Structure 1
């Protein structure tokens, strides 16, 4: 039986990835944040959310000991966090400054691999956070990566549908160039290692993919030096499969799909055990807890569901489930309601509006200081650590961090406020003020796309293809539509 334990609804945009350690659950989202929860009661840790990224966060992974958490983002960085304090331990800038779509830590926590939208791979020495070497495949986007249990081999998958095996010198050990015709969206090694002839290791590898002609599933392969061998094909879902994960003993496999379902398989016998249908949109993330019978699933519905498995997961689905504690849920709801009171017009808030917001957020002690500095909504959105210390004289590091988190949540609230998606800049995911059309045909906030062009070697944020020109054309029609929508709301 698989029963729903609780639903976490703290993210303000699509949930892109989730990962368990022995004691924690980490999730990341298009809202630029990483959130960390205790698996004891799934309460959010005091230092969460982590807000070190400038753009969408695509992947998170724990070190084996659980002391560190790595996250990667469109901002071309992989950030290493302390799970004890929430502090940033290191910021690893990807060579070429291309958007980082995937990151993976080796089981021995010695190496970290990051893969980018330009097809490059970066191998890092994790203890020293030093770049060891780069490699990769041109003209594709790396979106999947997993280390073998022995930590000496890792697999990657790309949007071109290729599945490749690499050693730590970034030599290709094997490649299946047409593993999936519409792209490999995820791949994962089973945690156990099977013995084979001549005492060679045969890790079980399961890539998730986007199928054609209505077929769906995963292909499990075993690694024999220089060769990938098909073991079985799982077809329990009716649409593209976006994520997959093995249980800690390698006996179960979970996957999430565009059809909004979560499937659980007997991995050894390739048998479908259960289908869960609680999410309202695409299931983009899934993972098993390494120490308890729990599964976390994340979705484009902005939620993370926690499931408990019992009796080998062979029963029927429990449609209901224990929700978060009522008091906690109510507090969270009230906080979001106050923060989103004037979501779209924060930049137009008066000084009095800002004062009311501070009181609602429990920061009434700052009201007089903000009034003395004539802080309106526009100034509120521009706050930095430096201005808080120098201009407002806030000496407490904790208070500055708390205020900046609240401001960031205020910005991100626009994502879940019902704004038409075409009004949001694809880079910042914020309401556009000066929309412009780039050479790729997409509209962006002028400042955001200009910064992108200056730092991303003139590649498109949406397609990763070269921009034929850096000319930006004002999108007057879109600007008028945004203005009309703001007035009506």
Structure 2
């Protein structure tokens, strides 16, 4: 497949980072101490804007990011400063600085746009409050230079990587920044980049007990790795695939906006586009004459921008890849996964009502077809169904049928997860809403605690007796220690066990 491209000439030294906002506006950062803005005209030709270059750093600029709402550009430099720029005027809004004054290597906005994370040579990961432009917390758990960081798509978690090769998962939802999990030797020669896919799952229950994400990292071992990140009481990072294709340090990896593609940039002068659902290599892009340092997709997947030590930015037109199927089947899959592809489009968001009906029939749940049709459940509505909406709105009383539909929806959104068991224990078949979020076992005496969540009575009493005044689910202080029996759930559990 031939991919056309444009070469952007403007920087006078290595291009270290590129970032897109929307489909036409690109920002780049370079060792020439500048940040430059590029914009595509109606014919798709990118040129520098009148605001370029943005000048304010005294040394090379190592990273640059657009805020999710495109109003701010953040740039981090070897001079130890993070500058926030007004995207529309190019003016400096504020300068932020790590307490040590050390070089800043990476930065990343939370998708909620409320926080910015930065890391660098001082081995600290700093979380900033964008509204107050002040530091929330400085984290020093790493014992090496911070080389990568990324927020989960719901802003609840933050992963950071270091030159020592480790990855750390942090709780970022409430600003607690508690380290939930550490993975040593994720890349044994050092982590260089990371990114979260936009596709994620919150498991179906009375509360967000667990969430599941697809995460990519890359490093000095010439590898791109795909990981399953699980958030919740048992937070973990587990390896899914090691992607081999580069013959040099992999400096950057970025998912496309919809999560259907993954790009990596490396010291072998290559850019590789991968299928993140099954880890296969789709295409190699050759055009740079030196190390490729960075890459990023436009929001519509029409373009891929890359930067290099050759001082150039290349804009690749990958529009003929943007409609690739997001969902894939694997041999030996379950009924839920084999029903992933119905007639019509393979992209679930484009499914018509008849496609959903065909999917239901493949799950042997055709008896519910009419109620789905009466309620106009197309692909978009399907992926937003919950246990509550199935029970109260669609009147599907059978717990088994609801669970089968919800497992099928989970497989549609994130097919890789259907092959991963939660633990070595054989609890994967248990309905999540019947299990205690502390013990992960089916409850005998479910009670509602002061945080509004339901637990096994013995487990939550032990939690409180151990001196904990905060919720196991939210880490916030519980308003009281009252435990009220959840009689409705107990009845459902008894019905489930009597089947």
Cα shift at 1:63: 0.8
What SS does the corresponding residue of 2:3 show, helix, strand or coil? strand
Q: What is the rounded CA distance, in whole Å, between the counterparts of 2:297 and 2:37 in structure 1?
A: 16
TM-score (norm 1): 0.62
What SS does the corresponding residue of 2:200 show, helix, strand or coil? strand
1:282 correspondence with 2:291: yes
- Conserved? CA contact 1:79–1:91, under 8 Å: yes
Q: Which residue does 1:256 correspond to in 2?
A: 265
Number of residues of Structure 1 aligned to a counterpart in Structure 2: 312
Query: Taking structure 1 as reference, are residues 314 and 251 closer, same or farther at Cα in structure 2, changes over 3 Å only?
Result: closer
Superposed, 1:456-471 pairs within 5 Å as: none
Q: Which residue does 1:202 correspond to in 2?
A: 212
Q: What is the rounded CA distance, in whole Å, between the counterparts of 2:283 and 2:166 in structure 1?
A: 29
- Conserved? CA contact 1:109–1:126, under 8 Å: yes
Superposed, 1:176-191 pairs within 5 Å as: 176-191=183-198
What SS does the corresponding residue of 1:96 show, helix, strand or coil? coil
Superposed, 1:296-445 pairs within 5 Å as: 296-312=305-321
Query: Taking structure 1 as reference, are residues 218 and 160 closer, same or farther at Cα in structure 2, changes over 3 Å only?
Result: same
Q: What is the rounded CA distance, in whole Å, between the counterparts of 2:278 and 2:310 in structure 1?
A: 32
Superposed, 1:7-22 pairs within 5 Å as: 7-22=7-22
Q: Which residue does 1:127 correspond to in 2?
A: 131
**Structure holding more helix per residue:** 1
Q: Which residue does 2:119 correspond to in 1?
A: 115
- Tell me the C-alpha RMSD between the 2 structures: 1.8
- Conserved? CA contact 1:2–1:307, under 8 Å: no
TM-score (norm 2): 0.60
**Which digits, 9 at most, give the CA deviation of each residue in 1:104-152, with x for residues without a partner?**
1001100011112011121111122111111123541001010100112
Q: What is the rounded CA distance, in whole Å, between the counterparts of 1:135 and 1:161 in structure 2?
A: 17
- Conserved? CA contact 1:274–1:313, under 8 Å: no
Q: Which residue does 1:81 correspond to in 2?
A: 85
Q: Which residue does 2:399 correspond to in 1?
A: none
Q: What is the rounded CA distance, in whole Å, between the counterparts of 1:79 and 1:135 in structure 2?
A: 20
Structure with more contact order per residue of length (Cα contacts < 8 Å, sep ≥ 6) = 1
Cα shift at 1:226: 2.4
Q: What is the rounded CA distance, in whole Å, between the counterparts of 1:30 and 1:311 in structure 2?
A: 33
Cα shift at 1:170: 2.1
2:250 aligned to which of 241, 253, 261: 241
Cα shift at 1:314: 10
Q: What is the rounded CA distance, in whole Å, between the counterparts of 2:247 and 2:203 in structure 1?
A: 34
Cα shift at 1:98: 1.0
2:227 aligned to which of 217, 220, 224: 220
**Which digits, 9 at most, give the CA deviation of each residue in 1:36-65, with x for residues without a partner?**
111333111111111110101010111111
Q: What is the rounded CA distance, in whole Å, between the counterparts of 1:310 and 1:21 in structure 2?
A: 17
Q: What is the rounded CA distance, in whole Å, between the counterparts of 1:241 and 1:308 in structure 2?
A: 22
Larger-gyration structure (1/2)? 2
Query: Taking structure 1 as reference, are residues 314 and 21 closer, same or farther at Cα in structure 2, changes over 3 Å only?
Result: closer
Q: Which residue does 1:291 correspond to in 2?
A: 300
Q: What is the rounded CA distance, in whole Å, between the counterparts of 1:33 and 1:95 in structure 2?
A: 23
1:106 correspondence with 2:116: no
Q: What is the rounded CA distance, in whole Å, between the counterparts of 1:2 and 1:36 in structure 2?
A: 27
Cα shift at 1:288: 0.6
Q: Which residue does 1:156 correspond to in 2?
A: 160
1:44 aligned to which of 34, 48, 59: 48
Q: What is the rounded CA distance, in whole Å, between the counterparts of 1:241 and 1:149 in structure 2?
A: 23
Query: Taking structure 1 as reference, are residues 51 and 137 closer, same or farther at Cα in structure 2, changes over 3 Å only?
Result: same
What SS does the corresponding residue of 1:189 show, helix, strand or coil? strand
Tell me, which stretches of 5 or more residues in structure 2 are unaligned? 325-499
